[in-house]
Amino acid sequence: MGGPRPPDALLHAAPPSETALLDYVRLRISRAMLEEIALNTPACLLSALEELLRPVSGFRIDGPAREALELERWNQPAGEQAHWKRLLATALLLRSAGRLPSGASGEDGFLIDTSAATVRALGESASALGPETSRLAICFLLWIFDAQPRPCFRAFPAFVAVLLTDAAGKPTTKLAPGQMLAWVEGVEAACRAELGWRVASTRWLIGLNGYENLAAHRERWTATVASADGPMARALAGYLSRVSAQPSGV
């Protein structure tokens, strides 16, 4: 299910971790920043967000707290502090999605299905916040790659993890680009085959997910890759313009 495993070199450079990124971000979030996130939704209590930051907190996010974090995900950060807020919001949402059953439906299923956009936003903010944040984001994305195998989602953390290797610097810049790209290609193809007739379109990667296949979302992915700098980003930019073969019977 979900295609090939991440290359050993990538796993060695960025060992999968559910908590390392959140532990790192938690130390850089002030009470004032949490208050700003809570203000996204009038019904969101600051105490609910503070509870989510506790190391022993549960992973499930519901109600106004989830709405406040989802709205923060869509913000376009202007400055370092705004990126830390968005990184926190996206990491908390993805941790929640990663803990859900892959066959979830209803509100839980919607959270997973819309998490591809959350992965994109997390990658953008991690890249803006420097090499160590980017490396820890790769660790987190490799964790969620394993934790949440839903086929309309799983290829997106693989894609962004590889995209972030440019921003993470050493040791990830020493990884063989061909090996990284082959992994992402294999995961995309496996997810497409598993989806079968449910695949949204023939667009490479984007067509795996009905939400990301919408025009406005496609443009965001193109802009995200275009704003990245490095050989991996340039290679992946060409991939987004590709058309994938539909599985038989579609």
Cα–Cα distances in angstroms (integers) from residue 101 to residues 58, 108, 140, 171, 195, in the given order: 16, 9, 18, 33, 17
What tens digit of pLDDT does each residue of 124-170 get? 999 999 999 999 999 999 999 999 999 999 999 999 999 999 899 87
- Cα–Cα distance measured from residue 159 to residue 185, given in angstroms and rounded to the nearest whole number: 9
The answer to whether 7 touches 183, Cβ cutoff 8 Å, is: yes
**pLDDT score for 248:** 40
Q: How many other CB atoms are found less than 10 A from the CB of residue 52? A: 23
| pLDDT > 70? residue 70 | yes
The average pLDDT across 35-55 equals 78
Q: Where do the H-state alpha helices sit in the chain? A: 8-13, 20-26, 31-38, 46-53, 63-74, 80-98, 106-113, 115-128, 131-147, 155-163, 165-168, 177-195, 215-227, 231-240
- Cα–Cα distance measured from residue 24 to residue 132, given in angstroms and rounded to the nearest whole number: 10
Q: Residues of the chain with pLDDT > 90: what percent?
A: 62
125: tokens are 């903010």
| pLDDT > 50? residue 250 | no
Going by pLDDT thresholds of 50, 70 and 90, the confidence category of residue 59 is low
What tens digit of pLDDT does each residue of 214-245 get? 888 888 998 888 888 788 888 888 887 776 55
The model's pTM is 0.92
The answer to whether 166 touches 116, Cβ cutoff 8 Å, is: no
The average pLDDT across 110-137 equals 96
**pLDDT score for 125:** 96
Q: Residues of the chain with pLDDT > 70: what percent?
A: 92
